[in-house]
Amino acid sequence: MNQINQLNDKLAECNFQPNIYGDNKIYINAYEKTPKGQKKKFGIFIQLNYPDLEVEEDGYLFENCSLRVFCNQEFDRAEKMKRAKQVKLKVWSDLYKHDIVDTPPPDKWDDITLTEDAV
């Protein structure tokens, strides 16, 4: 089985409510509490560089992946960055708790790094 399907299955097993999107993204829906009909506040997804990569049984599922968060709320850029970092820290902590990532998250949200297109 390829990496995107293995990772999706592991996320589902841990109740992250994943959804494969396109050929290289898995959206994580477990943190979304947006009422029906309203615009989502955050987009949380895992970007896979090589989704068709075959991962050994004891291999690291998060190899060549990145956790991405973007904010859709009507805030200024600084507030969007802050909120996105807080969400990313929570998701990263949960991924670490479930042994999906092997790098522990930082202790504080302001130590989180976001890419320029995150907000």
What are the residues facing 65 on neighbouring strands? Answer: 48
Q: Which residue has the tokens 């109740």?
A: 15
Chain center to CA of 90: 10
Residue-wise pLDDT tens digits, 18-62: 999 999 999 998 776 666 666 667 788 999 998 888 888 777 888
Q: What is the dihedral of CA 54, 60, 64, 70, to 10 degrees?
A: 120
Structure tokens at 40: 């989502």
Q: Taking the CB of residue 83, how many other CB atoms lie within 10 A of it?
A: 18
Q: Report DSSP letters for 51-78, one per residue.
A: TT-B--TTS-TTTTEEEEEEE-SS--HH
Q: Is the pLDDT of residue 9 over 80?
A: yes
Supply the pTM of this predicted model.
0.81
Query: What's the number of domains the chain is made of?
Result: 1
Reported as half-sphere exposure (CB side, CA atoms, 13 A), residue 25 has a value of 10
Q: Which residue segment(s) compose the domain that 47 sits in?
A: 3-118
Give residues with Cβ within 8 angstroms of 53, minimum separation 6: 2, 3, 63, 64
Mean pLDDT of 1-18: 91
The yes-or-no verdict on residue 103 having pLDDT over 50 is yes
44 in Cβ contact with 91 (< 8 Å): yes
